[in-house]
Structures are given as structure tokens and as C-alpha cells.
Amino acid sequence: MDMGLTKDDLDVRARAQEFARTCLYPHEEELDQNDFLPDDKEATIRQGVLHFRLNAINHAHDVGGQDMTIVQQCIVNEEVGSATNALWARVWQPPVCLKDGTPEQIEKYLIPACRGEIRTSFCTSEPTAGSDAGGVKTAAVLDGNHYVINGEKCFASNAEFAELNLLTTVVDGDPSKPTLFLVDHGTEGFNIRRLPRFSQRSGHGHPEVDIEDMRVPTTQMLGDVGQGYELTKDWFVEARLAIAARSIGMAVRATDLALVWAREREQFGHAIIHFQAVEFMLAEMASDIMAGKSMLYRVAQEIDSGLDRKTAHAKASAIKLFCSEAGFRVVDKAVQIFGGRGTMCENPVERLTRDVRLERIWEGTSEIQKMVIGGQIRKRGLDMYTGWD
């Protein structure tokens, strides 16, 4: 297998690196201090996304996307993921399942989303349905040419301002009928209950939502009744690979910063890089990064070469598990190398500590990934993870 990057891959990496350094890094401290950026700075970032051709990297050219390979998507997510305070979220990637909408839905939602004209939110988690997606209780009941929906959501990232909310429901309260709906901002009955404060200051929230007798036309269903889980499978693979890539990006930046500091900082008459304790930490950090990148890009190439969906889903869990855990280990060691200065908010490694911690939780906790991996081993044996064709 040729694991080298192509000329196009290298071009994508160069664009993503320059964008992150010129359009994201300069805003990190202001966002951290204020938990928002002024409209003019948000507009500048948005223009940067378009200028560097990083919008909708996960969608085809004919709907306004960049039609990047999975390898290229991982490259972009690795580079922009190195920016603190979730500034990577400004590089919009509309949910991949929108491509399965009707021609009217694609025209109304997907194409504007790819251009960055509307923002999206995926409302799935509930008080009783986080890791257990089968526990969704938000129910949709047919009433003429509308569905009446009642329920509640939590961790509905961006729902407080998103123009489009993808809402996971069960039709008639039947768990065997998971179904997605497209809900416009301002729809009566879709109410933001509260915006909890979180450790990450990103300028957007993860609100709790009450859904009360909300009427949604049948034309706003994405796919058919019962297709909800099937439509989200590719999204979960995409999201988990993105988390893995971002975790590696954070780890690389933290290690770069720690290495510079280790060469400059003197104690007992020597730069601390000459102390074995520090040298060993850097060696472990480099090894974790190398292992994570090897896993990530190997499987990304396999997916680009036609890996079947079920295998891709299984391997994405292993990648998400390893890279998010390794990223946390690396960033934590970077803080240790900096010592007290590593806990100062002005230091990117402190902000990366908050950011990378979340990657071990969302889109399936590390424990859920282990359940997926364990289940695959029981059903299909070790070759899923240890084989190499």
C-alpha cells in the first residue's frame, strides 16, 4: 500500500495549514476570554474558509462542496483541529446525510449549507439517550400532512442559532422507526430551554431543547420512516474520523510547543530537554502521534479505495478510541513539560487540554468505542483489526 500523499493532498495540507495559522490562531485568546468573536471577525474567518477552498469538504462539487477524498478530509481536520476553543467548527462540514435528501431538500438546505449561508445542528442526544441511541423518546405522530413532535434534546450543539436542525425521532414512539426531520429555525414548538456553560469557550453552545407539539410537514422528513439510524451511519464514521484527526492535530501542536520550550527552559544549568524525564515524555508523545497518524491515514486510504461501510464503521471506532486517548496523553505531557506555565490560559496547551478532553466523549465515548470493537471481535474475529490485505 502506498501511504504517501499525492500532489493534491499536499496542496490541501498547505492550504489548511495556512488557513489555520492566519485565520484561526490569531483569534484564539480573544475567543477564550470573551466566549464570542465580533461579527466582523467571524466574517473574516468565513471569507478565509471560502478563499482557501475548505468549505463543505465532505460534499460533491455539484452541490457546492470541495469533493475531497477521505484522506484529504482528515488532513484538513488535523490542521484546523490544532486551533484552540473549537475554532475548527468555523470550517463548516454539513451533515453528510443531507446528500440523501429530495431534490427540493438539497436545493433548500444542502447547497446553501455548502456555501456557508445556513448553519446546521444535529439534535440527537436526550437525557435518557446519549450513548444509547436506541433510547430516543422524542416521538413523531402523523396528523394529516404533518407530523406532531414532542420530546426533549440535550447537547444540541449550535441549535440556539442554526438555521437548520436535524432532529432524531421515533415515529409513533416505536424504537424500530427511527426517523430524521429537517426543522427550520423559528419553528413553533422548538424551544431552547437553557444554555449550560461548558469548559470549552467556543462562542457556540450545546443547549437543552424542549419540543412541544411541534408541527412539521411530511415533506420535511429526511429519507423514509425507519431510516434514521441508517442515514446517520456514514455521519458517525465521518465524525469519528474527524475527531481522530483533530486529536492528532492538537497533539502535534502541543508537542511542537513543548519541544520549543524544552530547548529554551534551563534548570540546574541545562536546557530541560537534556533531562531524561523530559526526553522520555517527548519520545512517548512522538510515538503516540506516529501511531495515531498511521492508523488514521491507513484506514482513510482504505475507505477511499472502497472499504465496505460495515468495516469502515468498525475501524472508525478503533481510530477514534486510540487517537482521542493518545491526543489527551500527549497534551497532558505537554502541560507537564511546561510546568506551571502549562496551566496559564494564555498558553495554547492549557486551552488544548480543555479541547482534547471533549474528544474522548462526544460522538461515542471511549467506552462505547470499546463496546463496538468488542462486539466486532465477538462476531468477526480479530482479523478486522489485526489483518492487513
Rounded Cα distance, 339 and 90, in Å: 31
Residue 363 a catalytic site member: yes
Q: Exposed/middle/buried for 178, CB within 10 Å: 0-12, 13-18, 19+?
A: buried
Extract the C-alpha cell encoding 289: 502521534
Per annotation, catalytic residue among 126, 208, 325, 363: 363
Cell 502535534 belongs to residue? 252
* Helical axes 276-304 vs 70-80, angle rounded to 10°: 150
CA atoms within a 13 Å half-sphere pointing along the CA-CB vector of 99: 18
* Residue 192: strand pairing partners: 209
Extract the C-alpha cell encoding 382: 480479530
The pairing of strands 208-217 and 190-194 is: antiparallel
Amino acid found at 110? L
Rounded Cα distance, 239 and 154, in Å: 18
Mind telling me the catalytic residues?
363
